[in-house]
Amino acid sequence: HPPPVATDKEEQKRLLENRPDQPQNPRVLRIAIIGAPNAGKSTLSNQLLGRKVFPVSRKVHTTRCKAQGVITHQDTQLIILDTPGLTNPLKAKRHKLEEAMLTDPWDSMKHADLVLVLVDVSDHWTRNSLSKEVLKCLSQFPHIPSVLVLNKVDILKKKFLLLEIATDLTEGIVNGKKLEVKSAAKQDSRSSVKPSLHTTRASPAESKTPGSPFGQEKSQAQEGSGLDKSSDAGGAGTGEAQVPKHHEDLKEGRGWPHFQEIFMLAALRGEEVDTLKRYLLMQAKPGPWEFHSDVLTNQSPQEICDNIIREKVLEYLPLEVPYGVTQVTEMWEEGECGELLIIQSLLVPRESHKRMLIGRGGKVISRIAQEAAQDLMNAFLCDVRLKLKVEVK
């Protein structure tokens, strides 16, 4: 079971400063998860961690800064860099987003050993091409191995579209091999998660290893970024340090022909998340751990609390209102029976916003408090009593 987050700020700080309890042959992998806002990056991170420490909401830009999650499994440590959705300065201005939201995803890429590109296949406007920001990110770091993750496949009624989407997003090339698409129109819709995708040069013995829907051998998947294998598939036979030729025609490009693998999953329901997790554990390289095995995240308990309350405010209030709410924690202490007592004030700019946030008969604010307390119990593994007050700034 994943460890809980410490409820005490100082205790969490001590944990983070603790020397890692290294096993004899430690392995480590730093994973950057990038994608358009609302693709499900935080949901996937929480599922991989096994506890909710990142805020999620249907509204865009719930994740405001980069935070790390830590998965320690036997001798392996996976460090997940949960990044804000890749956005541009114009949209950032519209949502009053901090400067960090434009730079954090790029910072995460610099430190990553592997990048997961998450695409929401339920969004028919965006699912057939990678956003300009994502393509730009990939082409600036072509030496970092990348994996395509198609998310929310459970929502997609027509499963055969997954094959078309996968072909578009990879430009028909995965791990330097041409993607062969077998007709999946006749497939049973319940076996949603893995339609039949094959790459040309894979021998029968290689098919269907547990870590991957494609069935490349583990050693092959670990060879590196797959960039230099693309010559047989008509790609740019580039070495590591070069930027792929693809960079030159980014404007026309819709996909990225250098992905090593494709995974199809439903992060919210946890479908196929274990398959991805096994693959990530397999990709870890020998190297020292960064954190003690008792660490689940590098966030402070207060940050987790603020983020989760903010998530609920985003969820229940219309459009722009939540972005103007300021949170002030007035009380954070342990009760007599070990429960955590929290009082937080939510400051809003207008009286009308206050009425909306409280709701008729206090229904909205009590629902927010109840749901946030439930999530905090999951993160801290203790009883949480949360009281929220709403005031006009």
- Does residue 100 register a pLDDT over 80? no
- Does residue 219 register a pLDDT over 80? no
Q: How far apart are CA 175 and CA 165, in angstroms?
A: 17
| Residue 238, pLDDT score | 31
| Residue 152, pLDDT score | 94
Tokens of 233: 């598939």
| Residue 228, pLDDT score | 31
> Could you tell me which residue, 251 or 239, shows the higher pLDDT?
251
| Residue 2, pLDDT score | 92
Q: How far apart are CA 103 and CA 86, in angstroms?
A: 9
Residues forming a β-bridge with 300: none
Most confident of 101-110, 197-206, 270-279: 270-279
| Residue 200, pLDDT score | 54
Tokens of 49: 């961690």
- Among residues 71, 114, 108, 47, which one has the least CA distance to residue 289? 71
End-to-end CA distance of the chain: 42
Q: How far apart are CA 237 and CA 316, in angstroms?
A: 50
- Among residues 284, 237, 241, which one has the least CA distance to residue 258? 237
- Among residues 262, 277, 240, which one has the least CA distance to residue 29? 277
Superfamily of domain 1-181+252-298: P-loop containing nucleotide triphosphate hydrolases (3.40.50.300)
Most confident of 83-87, 240-244, 322-326: 322-326
- Does residue 188 register a pLDDT over 60? no
Query: Model-level pTM greater than 0.85?
Result: no
| Residue 1, pLDDT score | 82
Query: Please, what is the average pLDDT of the chain?
Result: 79
CATH 3.30.300.20 segments of the chain: 300-392
DSSP 227: G
CATH 3.40.50.300 segments of the chain: 1-181+252-298
Q: How far apart are CA 330 and CA 171, in angstroms?
A: 53
Q: What is the mean pLDDT of residues 306-317?
A: 89
| Residue 7, pLDDT score | 94
| Residue 60, pLDDT score | 55
| C-alpha Rg value of the chain to the nearest Å | 22
Give, in order, the Cα–Cα distances in Å from 52 to each of 3, 45, 186, 343, 375.
12, 8, 38, 21, 7
Q: How far apart are CA 390 and CA 325, in angstroms?
A: 10
Q: What is the mean pLDDT of residues 113-119?
A: 95
Please write the tens of the pLDDT for every residue from 369-379. Answer: 999 999 999 99
| Residue 98, pLDDT score | 44
Q: How far apart are CA 342 and CA 179, in angstroms?
A: 53
In this structure, are strands 326-334 and 340-348 parallel, antiparallel, or unpaired? antiparallel
CB 288 within 8 A of CB 173: no
pLDDT category at 222 given cuts 50, 70, 90 is very low
Q: What angle do CA 176, 178, 184 make, to 5 degrees?
A: 135
Q: What is the CATH number of domain 300-392?
A: 3.30.300.20
| Upper half-sphere CA count for residue 19 (Cβ side, 13 Å) | 3
Q: How far apart are CA 178 and CA 174, in angstroms?
A: 6
| Residue 41, pLDDT score | 87
Q: What is the mean pLDDT of residues 301-306?
A: 94
Residues of the chain above pLDDT 90, percent: 55
- Does residue 77 register a pLDDT over 80? yes
- Does residue 348 register a pLDDT over 80? yes
Q: What is the mean pLDDT of residues 199-223?
A: 38
| Residue 65, pLDDT score | 53
Least confident of 94-103, 104-113, 213-222, 225-234: 225-234
- Among residues 61, 119, 54, which one has the least CA distance to residue 91? 61
| Residue 184, pLDDT score | 40
Please write the tens of the pLDDT for every residue from 138-163. Answer: 999 999 999 999 999 999 988 889 99
Tokens of 17: 């400063």
Please tell me whether residue 117 adopts helix, strand or coil conformation: strand
| Residue 250, pLDDT score | 47
- Does residue 62 register a pLDDT over 50? no
| Contacts for 229 with CB less than 8 Å, ≥ 6 apart | 175, 176, 177, 223
